[in-house]
Structure 1
C-alpha cells in the first residue's frame, strides 16, 4: 500500500483531501497527517512515506525554508509542494530546491488526486512539465475534454501525428485543437505552451 504524508496546518484541508481520495478511487492509499514541519519530519523518520505533500506556510516554517530543511534531513524524500502561493517564481525555486512538483491548492480535488496518483506510479521524479498539470493551470477550465487530452500529450512531447494516432483523431482536428489551446492559454508557440507548465 502506498503512503502519502500531507503536511498542512489546517485540519480541514487534510481531512478533505483524505475524504476526496477515498471517494475518488484512492482508498488503497494510506494517508498520514502532520500540522507542523517538526511533526512531519518525525513522522517521515518513522514511516518513510512514498510521497509528501508539503505546505509552505506552517507554524514552525515559512516559505521555502520548510522544503529546504525537510530535504536537508531527508534528501531521498519525494516531496511535492502543496500551496496556495502559485507564482511562477515560487514554483521555479521549489523545483530548484529538489521538489518533485507543485500542487496548487486552487486546483480541483480531481486534479490534485490525479497528480498524486501519477507521482505514486513513478519510480523517480521526472523532469519537465507534468501531463497531470494540464487540467490544473489557471485558464485550462476554458478547454474542452478533447483539448485537455491533446494538451496532455503535447506536454508529454508527442507530435501532432502521434497525438492523432493515439487518440484516433484526424490530423487536422489535432492541429485545430492545438491552435485553440494556444489561443486560450495565450501561448505564442508550442515551445512557449510547454514552458507554461514547467
Structure 2
C-alpha cells in the first residue's frame, strides 16, 4: 500500500471473543486493511455500521439476538451499497441462499485459510461477488428443489421440539388437518421418510436450528 492509499475499513461481527481476536490479528497483518470496529450481536452491528460506515462487514450468522441474515438485511435496507461478507461455520444450502438473498456479496466458511479471507475482502471491496466452490456446490445440490414455506418451517421447528400435530395446531392457531397437510408437504419437499429424518435434514441444510 503506498502512502496515498486508503486502507479497507472493516467491521467484524462475531459473539466469540477468540474469533474476533483471530480476525483482528489477520487484519493487522495486512497493510491495506484496518479494523475500525467490532460488534458482538446483530443490533450492535447495525449501530456500528451507522457510526463507522465501513467498507466491508465480516458477519457471523449465529448471533445472540437477531440472526446474521437479519442483520445483513437491515444494514442493506438502510445502506444499499454496504458490502458484507458472511463468515460462518454453517454450510447448509438454506443458510447460504438466505444470506445471499439478504444482500451479502460473499459467503465464507471459518475453516478457510487466512490468505483466502484477505483475498475475498479485497475482491468484495472492488465490487465483486464471491462464492467459493464448496459453497456453490451446496447450493447446486438442491438447485430447483421447492423450498419450505414460512409456515412449513414453523411446523418443522415445532416437530423438532417434540410436539404432536394437535400441539402444533394449538400453537399456530390452525386446524390439525392443516398441520397434517403441512407435514405431508414438508416430507415431500425434503425427501424425508419420517418426522425424525425431516428434522435431521432441516438442521443439516440450515432450514431450522435446534
**1:17-46: CA deviations, max 9, x gaps?**
1212333xx133111211112221111112
Unaligned runs of 5+ in 2: 1-6, 136-210
State the partner residue of 2:185: none
State the partner residue of 2:191: none
1:1-198 alignment to 2 at 5 Å? 1-23=7-29, 26-31=30-35, 32-62=37-67, 64-120=69-125, 122=126, 124-126=127-129, 130=131, 133=132, 137=134
The count of residues paired between Structure 1 and Structure 2 equals: 128
Are the aligned partners of 1:5 and 1:33 in contact in 2 as well (CA < 8 Å)?
A: yes
Distance in 1 (alpha carbons) for counterparts of 2:104 and 2:63: 17
TM-score, L = length of structure 1:
0.58
TM-score, L = length of structure 2:
0.55
Over alpha carbons, which structure has the higher Rg?
2
Distance in 2 (alpha carbons) for counterparts of 1:44 and 1:14: 16
Q: What is the aligned-residue RMSD (CA, Å)?
A: 2.0
State the partner residue of 2:175: none
Equivalent position SS for 2:71: helix
Structure 1 residues 12 and 27: CA distance shift in structure 2, 3 A = farther
Distance in 2 (alpha carbons) for counterparts of 1:37 and 1:90: 16
State the partner residue of 1:158: none
